[in-house]
Structure 1
């Protein structure tokens, strides 16, 4: 089959799927939003294109998101027109539609089957929005903004033939009329590579410029976000540090993540000036932490992947906190590496962490409970070993790339090709 991938940062989630389809004899192409010449990547023909304009200044803030997606959809449509003029016609289109690029492709190729990578359908309640009372919506009109933010999803549903979602929770956020067409298949993690290593050592340079050398003999507590922000529980973890450092006088705390924002809102400059979330919560807890204890807290910023994996291999207790939102790959990677995990007790996390079986669950807002759970595990090596072993076994059985997820993804794509096309 001719299979076309649409992803602004291709390969993204498709870095294993697209080459595997090539190996199965399919003719695979992709349209990334990049300033690169046409080329081939692992047998995939790349047809890049560019956006030449941005969102209109002064446009109504509720519709600016959809205008941005429409702009991207237009340039993708025009680039696809050029491909069609050369005689190209995909039988299956697999799109990460979250940025809008694939919106009009079924109008161009009505016989193609369109499969969507369904990450999240925004909810005014019951998911991330309104979950944390410390950061309420600015006003009641936020529900209007969210309704319009879903326009891209809804417009795609009219022509899509099916969807794929990495977790049951993420699939459950979509309206029932489309949810029945979504298969839950995770992107997959390489559990053959992500294995524990008791001999691991690592020398790191912190964002403070300090060099530290660590081994499994060190009592290491880890916390990982793409960016240190409330959506991923950074504030809750920081507030646990004064008591946690007091109880664990030998522990070193490693925080991995940048200072930008990935998901939630940025700090209000009228309240916080130009401070980042990272600095805001450092400033909050620092007066309650003696200098000697603070010297054992290490901010590592962004790490390359090998260093990131080494950090998790060093971990005695790994802490994962999040709003009800997209589940982080880092949690599943930590499970595959055999980490003893303390995580927030919310729906997406409960798919991977069963309390006292593959980790320990705590209330997202319970600072004392979080400290107690970490402290107890640090005191109990046999329980850490049991939880880590069972976490790895669950990751292998449920999220293994080669034996579980990739075969199911391939079957899904090839199954789309057998469906009668749904017209736009």
Structure 2
């Protein structure tokens, strides 16, 4: 079978699936703007396409996002035409359609089956659009219309999607009912053989200090430090955490950009905005125990998880972070927000503890209680790892499910493009 994978940052979510499909004997290629020239990655032919065109100055702000997706979609379409001219005709196309790249690929290969990575459908309900009152725009009617327009890309893809896969039940549930019978829930998977506890782990932080399992280490991770992942809540709790835990070190990992939600105002970063808000409440000696590591190589990320005595994870009702499941796999004691995506993988007092997203006092109190109770931390960590091994292990659970999903996809009657 010939398989084409589309991802703007290949391999992305196909890091393990693509090589597994090669090992199954399938011919696998990828079109991506990430490379400048053809290359081979683990048996996958990685082929470039160039993003052409520029955003229109002065375009209505609600259309900026969709115009960017059209530019990617038409550019990928041109790359697909060139690939077709060289004789490549995929039986299956796998795509993360979030950037619009796969929008017109059925126009190139109408007989191909299109399998989409269904990450999230934008909803206008209170839970999604106005979950955090602090960042409410105050224009609910306008926000509802703006959010519906964000789904133009989703809606166009819905017409041509033969099947979809979503990593969690929560994420799949955001899609309209008419999608549901075509979406399979299967997580990308956690490599639990690698992400595991290590009593000898060492993590170098600021000023050359090395932290180990003998230190009281509190960890907090975002891809980018921003409100969608509760950075503001954690930072506002930080002065009291440091006051009550005089020996604790707080290690934070994450970039200065924005992955989700709005950009910080006035050209600032969310990271610095909330540092500035709380820094005056924290003595210099306590601030020396706060360590920002930025973005780090994966082995250092693992060391961070392995020295953690308590890992704090906060999120809006949104895409679940891989880092939570990885922290669970590393036997971290988890304190997380009591939000829907978290409740799917965490059970109170079995695999972790949960607090209301906005309750900073409860966050501090429960974090301190967790740090004072090594037996509970050990029990929660063991249970968390066992849960991930049973339900989210890459090798034994998720990867076989993904491979089977792709091979079922190849048997479907392809859906035609609709005028």
TM score, norm. by length of structure 1: 0.96
Give how far 1:113 is off. 0.6
Deviations, residues 166-190 of structure 1 (Å, cap 9, x unaligned): 0011000000001221000000010
Give how far 1:50 is off. 0.5
* 2:36 paired residue number: 36
Paired residues of 1:127 and 1:325 also in contact (CA < 8 A): no
Give how far 1:199 is off. 1.3
Q: Are 1:212 and 2:209 matched, yes or no? A: yes
* 1:223 paired residue number: 220
* 1:389 paired residue number: 382
* 2:295 paired residue number: 302
Q: Distance in 1 between matches of 2:83 and 2:388?
A: 41
Q: Distance in 2 between matches of 1:243 and 1:69?
A: 44
Q: 2:272 aligns with which of 279, 284, 288?
A: 279
Give how far 1:128 is off. 3.5
* 1:182 paired residue number: 183
* 2:196 paired residue number: 195
Paired residues of 2:221 and 2:253 also in contact (CA < 8 A): yes
Q: 1:120-139 counterparts in 2 under 5 A?
A: 120-137=120-137, 139=139
Give how far 1:52 is off. 2.3
Q: Distance in 2 between matches of 1:34 and 1:392?
A: 34
Q: Name the stretch that deviates more: 149-158 or 31-40.
A: 31-40
More helix by share: 2
Q: Distance in 1 between matches of 2:75 and 2:210?
A: 49
Q: Distance in 2 between matches of 1:126 and 1:114?
A: 32
* 1:416 paired residue number: 409
Q: Distance in 1 between matches of 2:294 and 2:127?
A: 28
Paired residues of 2:98 and 2:153 also in contact (CA < 8 A): yes
Q: 1:350-369 counterparts in 2 under 5 A?
A: 350-369=343-362
* 1:256 paired residue number: 253
Partner SS, residue 226 of structure 1: strand
Paired residues of 1:258 and 1:302 also in contact (CA < 8 A): yes
Q: Are 1:147 and 2:148 matched, yes or no? A: yes
Q: Distance in 1 between matches of 2:258 and 2:87?
A: 42
* 1:241 paired residue number: 238
Deviations, residues 253-282 of structure 1 (Å, cap 9, x unaligned): 11111111111111222xxxx432111111
Give how far 1:101 is off. 0.8
| Structure 1 unpaired stretches of 5+ | none
Paired residues of 1:344 and 1:363 also in contact (CA < 8 A): yes
Q: Distance in 2 between matches of 1:21 and 1:242?
A: 50
Paired residues of 2:35 and 2:47 also in contact (CA < 8 A): no
Q: Distance in 2 between matches of 1:411 and 1:240?
A: 45
Q: Name the stretch that deviates more: 317-326 or 137-146.
A: 137-146
Alignment RMSD? 1.1
Give how far 1:292 is off. 2.0
Paired residues of 1:90 and 1:112 also in contact (CA < 8 A): yes
Q: Distance in 1 between matches of 2:58 and 2:93?
A: 35
Q: Are 1:74 and 2:71 matched, yes or no? A: no
Q: Distance in 2 between matches of 1:389 and 1:265?
A: 37
Q: How many equivalent residue pairs?
A: 416
Paired residues of 2:204 and 2:211 also in contact (CA < 8 A): yes
TM score, norm. by length of structure 2: 0.97
Q: Distance in 2 between matches of 1:124 and 1:83?
A: 39
Give how far 1:306 is off. 0.7
Q: Are 1:331 and 2:332 matched, yes or no? A: no
Q: Name the stretch that deviates more: 70-79 or 169-178.
A: 70-79
Q: Are 1:380 and 2:373 matched, yes or no? A: yes
Give how far 1:127 is off. 4.1
Pick closer, same or farther for the CA change 1:127–1:36 going to 2, 3 Å: farther
Paired residues of 1:35 and 1:50 also in contact (CA < 8 A): no
Paired residues of 1:255 and 1:301 also in contact (CA < 8 A): yes
